[in-house]
Structure 1
Amino acid sequence: MSDLPKRITIDEEGPREGFQSEKKVIPVADKVRLIEALAETGLKHIACVSYVNPKRVPTMADAEEVAAAIHRKPGIHYSALYLNQQGLERALRGPLDVQGSVRITASETFSRKNIGKSVADSLVEQRMSLQTFKDRGMPVEWGVVLGAFGCN
């Protein structure tokens, strides 16, 4: 058992993933209350909102309002999901932490259902995001393949 890590890091995706999966809109105050309660547990990373098209994901139409209402604790990385250049620009205007990242889709169906674009068009968006990171001197720290094991 000596080969087990001495420490692990948990990135909490529950608020972002959970709020956007709900059928009805959760009030901003309730979203903020959950995020702030999670911050009290000692987590170091909390994904709070998604900057996505509100027509596709109505439960995230209040992303800016939620992000602005969070009373942030020092030492916690509060993040947001963005899938395209427009979402990235919204994230950069907001108060949450933005890391350079690239998200590509492995599934045409996933891309059309979740992003509203083909995989090819989504790749063009990612190139635009990479240019934005470069222009701002932001390193690209990680990448994600969405829908790698299926499509929701």
Structure 2
Amino acid sequence: MSIVIIQGPHAHGLASGELQRNLQPLALAAGRTLEWFRCHELRDFVACVRSAKRRASEFMLLDPGELGLQAMAHPEAGLGDALDEVDTPYVEVHEDASTELGIQPGQHHAPVATVIINGDIGCSYRIGLGIALRQLDDEGIAVRAA
């Protein structure tokens, strides 16, 4: 079972390889795998969100990076619609509040949580992954109890 991480570009050149090395053991210890996708353009980010349905992903971590402002300025790009189509729970992770997608409950499929640790994207990812793993573990307990 997998958690998809979809990451947009960062102005300061985020070291996603290091993030992967830090997060993968946490996911594996919980019996999950991570699928990581880097997107440099908004249309690619939207397409990756839509493709989560084909992968039967259990959860997503979304890090729009510099694309967050574009997504808010261009709702016609379809990110909100893509999130509605997939209906996969997700956590937004950010390094800076200015990149938050701002999707409100009732407007579109809203995030389970939004994690913003100013200046520390690695911490945002660890917290976001922890939330995802906890949610998935809680769902597993509910399924086993039924």
- Relative to total residues, which structure has the larger helix share, 1 or 2? 2
Larger Rg: 1
Output the TM-score relative to the length of structure 1: 0.40
Output the TM-score relative to the length of structure 2: 0.41
The higher-RCO structure (CA 8 Å, 6+ apart) is: 2
